[in-house]
Amino acid sequence: MASLLYLSAIVLFVQSTVAFNCSRPPIYVDIHKRAVHGSDAFQYGSFIGVGTPAQNQSLWPSISQNHTSFAASTYCNNSTLKNCATSTGGLFDFSESSSFQEQDDYQTKDANRNGTFKGIYGTDDIHLYTHYFETDGATQNLVSNTTIEVAESGSITPAIVGMGQASTLLDTLAARDMIAGRTYSLYIGQGFDRAGGAVNGSNTFGGYDSGRFTGDVHRYPMSLNRRNPMAVKVKDIVLSSDSKSNTSLFDSSKFPDTKTTSFDAEITTDQFPLSLPYDVTQNFMKQLNAQEDNTWGDNSLKAASGPSADKPLSLTIVLEDGFTVTIPPEVLINASNITPIQKRDADDTRPYYLSAAFLGQVYLMADYESYSFYLAEAVQKNAPVMPVSFCPKSTPAPYEYPKQNAWVRQGLIGAVIGGIFGGIGIAITAWCFILGCRRRRDEKRLERELEKGRRAKMGQMEVEDVPEFDPPPKSATPFFWKKR
Ligand SMILES: *[C@@H]1O[C@H](CO)[C@@H](O)[C@H](O)[C@H]1NC(C)=O
Ligand SMILES: *[C@@H]1O[C@H](CO)[C@@H](O)[C@H](O)[C@H]1NC(C)=O
Ligand SMILES: *[C@@H]1O[C@H](CO)[C@@H](O)[C@H](O)[C@H]1NC(C)=O
Ligand SMILES: *[C@@H]1O[C@H](CO)[C@@H](O)[C@H](O)[C@H]1NC(C)=O
Ligand SMILES: *[C@@H]1O[C@H](CO)[C@@H](O)[C@H](O)[C@H]1NC(C)=O
Ligand SMILES: *[C@@H]1O[C@H](CO)[C@@H](O)[C@H](O)[C@H]1NC(C)=O
Ligand SMILES: *[C@@H]1O[C@H](CO)[C@@H](O)[C@H](O)[C@H]1NC(C)=O
Ligand SMILES: *[C@@H]1O[C@H](CO)[C@@H](O)[C@H](O)[C@H]1NC(C)=O
Ligand SMILES: *[C@@H]1O[C@H](CO)[C@@H](O)[C@H](O)[C@H]1NC(C)=O
Ligand SMILES: *[C@@H]1O[C@H](CO)[C@@H](O)[C@H](O)[C@H]1NC(C)=O
């Protein structure tokens, strides 16, 4: 009852505050490997600092946890995390921060965290860094005096950007009018060890990166009663070796013990492998001759043999509304034969999960003002960074690639004013002035970036020799254009 009242209070509040400033540019924060405070190892995560002076960290995004948390410098004395010294996402020594203030009596918003770590609460400054070109410095958005959690003991990597439905960081950004509203988008990337790829990710607070997705954008309501409120219905899962031979893992004529006809799955970043219904998992194991395994400590199944060049296997997840997400062969069964599907016991009652392996293929956009979220196919390679404001209750749209001759004819300014960017032009222009226009973009830089991107892509999963889209003409290379 109390929660019902709370919910209707939220609804009333949302309805009464229609005045979102959708011209506010979003805050874009990269996700990749970097140096972190208190550790020699480069670690994958969101480029976020904490304290005064800033201690830089790599934070893993969570869409269930509400608090943004950091590992205390003593975390590893008190933790069962494997390779703790190089896996915490950085360490935060709050005694060295002049702005940290502990809050003894703080009531946690993460009561359902399920014992993964314990910490203390306090307020301190959070530094959100935006970093486009490796050769340039980062710019920061300072979120001063905001609630943080400092993890003192536990079993997981506790450096987390908490983007759950009661996210304190998102609430603060919106309440201080630093972003358009409580909207957030995520591409998790594949540059972390478990995924074994090279594609980097990004967070966009109050916006989305319109260059990062393509095709139809699919809308879903949030299920606020779930720990992971973003849930979808899966109506089929198909293994394909080529377009002529598809096997549905729901096919009861092929797999007689199959009862599943569809199931609800929660989207989560809290684990890498997908957790599917028991019968579907059994069918997957039969089809791939897969065995239980625990190489990565996450119970991912191991296939009997790797893909052969002429018969690579991919797995396609079909959602109720027809949105399909394909896990490509190099992710499904790569050279080490570990799949991104977790073992499942017959009596396991936990939710089913579409997890980080799924989000490696998908761009996620969440609107916590209208409690809906959007999914679209992620553009993984050669995506220009194009963060735009995500106005609450609006539907995100992918960036429309201009034809090269359009760039030549009109130039960048012409393109913006001429409306190629449509309604988002104003946001882009604002973004341009704030972040980009001061950058010098000479031909050499562009070529260096191109070359670097080309080299980086050699390590990427799908190696390509040439960029997928035509770069804009050199005379008008826009600030936001970046090789990834
Ligand atoms: C809305 O945001 C824009 C861009 O940040 C700013 O210039 C403008 O003053 C804001 N409008 C209001 C009413 O706050
Ligand atoms: C934590 O462990 C490190 C090395 O393992 C040790 O040097 C340090 O004294 C320990 N700190 C505490 C507070 O126990
Ligand atoms: C985050 O807050 C929401 C809303 O209060 C709650 O339902 C959810 O369980 C919280 N998340 C965790 C991990 O406790
Ligand atoms: C919570 O953690 C316990 C112990 O690790 C586990 O058995 C249980 O399934 C977890 N629950 C959820 C919802 O993850
Ligand atoms: C943290 O990152 C910022 C932005 O790149 C940088 O200016 C600062 O020097 C870094 N701090 C440390 C201690 O490396
Ligand atoms: C930080 O915010 C709290 C309330 O959230 C306030 O009581 C405190 O005075 C603030 N501290 C500073 C240094 O602004
Ligand atoms: C270890 O964890 C406990 C429980 O979270 C905490 O009270 C204690 O201070 C921690 N010790 C260190 C050295 O961080
Ligand atoms: C296979 O995946 C593992 C992680 O599951 C990764 O460490 C390894 O580099 C990958 N190998 C190839 C060839 O992609
Ligand atoms: C197999 O599935 C793919 C998509 O997953 C589809 O494009 C193709 O038409 C299917 N082939 C057959 C024979 O059903
Ligand atoms: C990802 O980021 C790292 C920096 O940690 C960079 O070295 C690498 O080139 C990036 N990968 C791609 C594919 O751009």
CA Rg value for the chain:
22
Does residue 277 form part of some domain?
yes
**Are residues 172 and 225 located together in one domain of the fold?**
no
Q: What is the CATH number of the domain that holds 292?
A: 2.40.70.10
Rounded distance between C-alpha atoms, residue 298 and residue 340, angstroms:
10
Which of 352, 372, 401 is at the close of a domain? 401
Does residue 349 form part of some domain?
yes
Ligand 6, atom 8, lies closest to the CA of 145
Place of tokens 């579907």: 280
Sequence-ordered list of residues with C-beta below 8 angstroms from that of 25, at least 6 positions apart, any chain: 206, 207, 387, 389, 427, 430, 431, 434, 435
User: What one-character DSSP code corresponds to residue 95?
Assistant: G
Does residue 82 form part of some domain?
yes
Does the beta carbon of 247 sit less than 6 angstroms from any atom of ligand 7? no
Does residue 452 form part of some domain?
no
The values of phi and psi at residue 44, to 5°, are -85, 130
| Of 78, 75, 62, the residue nearest 114 (C-alpha) | 62
Does residue 144 form part of some domain?
yes
Does residue 143 form part of some domain?
yes
List pLDDT tens digits, range 259-293.
999 999 999 999 999 999 999 999 999 999 999 99
**Are residues 324 and 371 located together in one domain of the fold?**
yes
Structural contact between residues 49 and 129, judged by C-beta atoms closer than 8 angstroms: yes
**Are residues 34 and 138 located together in one domain of the fold?**
yes
Does residue 13 form part of some domain?
no
**Are residues 287 and 169 located together in one domain of the fold?**
no
Q: How far is the CA of 77 from the centre of ligand 2 (A)?
A: 6
Rounded distance between C-alpha atoms, residue 83 and residue 88, angstroms:
9
Q: How confident is the model at residue 311 (pLDDT cuts 50, 70, 90)?
A: low
**Are residues 325 and 397 located together in one domain of the fold?**
yes
> Helix, strand or coil for residue 190?
coil
Does residue 362 form part of some domain?
yes
**Are residues 245 and 385 located together in one domain of the fold?**
yes
Q: How far is the CA of 65 from the centre of ligand 7 (A)?
A: 21
Question: Which one has a higher pLDDT value, 215 or 115?
Answer: 215
**Are residues 174 and 301 located together in one domain of the fold?**
no
**Are residues 161 and 223 located together in one domain of the fold?**
no
Beta bridge mates, 265: 232, 352
Give the total number of structural domains in the chain: 2
Angle at alpha carbon of residue 374, lines to 370 and 379, rounded to 5°: 150
**Are residues 174 and 319 located together in one domain of the fold?**
no
Token duo for residue 118: 């314990």
pLDDT of residue 371 exceeding 70, the answer is yes
Q: How confident is the model at residue 386 (pLDDT cuts 50, 70, 90)?
A: very high
Ligand 5, atom 5, lies closest to the CA of 138
**Are residues 147 and 283 located together in one domain of the fold?**
no
Predicted TM-score (pTM) above 0.75: yes
pLDDT score for 312: 73
Which of 339, 374, 401 is at the close of a domain? 401
The values of phi and psi at residue 394, to 5°, are -95, 165
To the nearest 10°, report the CA torsion of 204, 207, 211, 214: 110
Ligand 6, atom 4, lies closest to the CA of 145
Domain containing 36 equals 24-179
**Are residues 256 and 144 located together in one domain of the fold?**
no
| Furthest C-alpha separation in the chain | 66
Q: Go through the chain and tell me how many residues it has.
A: 484
**Are residues 172 and 47 located together in one domain of the fold?**
yes
> Which residues in 5-17 are b (16+ Cβ under 10 Å) and which e?
eeeeeeeeebeee
